[in-house]
Structure 1
Amino acid sequence: MKQRAIATYRSQTTSFIDDDPAGFCLTPQMLSNFARPWEVYLEGSPSIHE
């Protein structure tokens, strides 16, 4: 399900937008991080301003 969800964002995963050479596109290396069978979550310390 996660891979299908990521694939729906064609503007970030393909060259769908071709008029901005500096536009953001996820690299294959970045996308491979989302294909693992596990995930890592980091929890930060609460801000003193919250």
Structure 2
Amino acid sequence: MGDHLVKQSPNFDASNYGFARLSDLAKVSGILEVERMGEHPKVVRVWLKKR
């Protein structure tokens, strides 16, 4: 997700919105579900919340 955002908007940075990680920003957006899986490599699944 991060790679796609940077391709669309090269200046995008989650820290501009007060978050250290993009996954943290996605979680508080209210429209996305975020699930962290595993330790190494860390996998983060993101999908739209169901209405």
Which of 1 and 2 has higher RCO (CA within 8 Å, sep 6+)? 1
TM (norm. structure 2) is 0.31
Structure number with the higher helix fraction is 2
TM (norm. structure 1) is 0.31
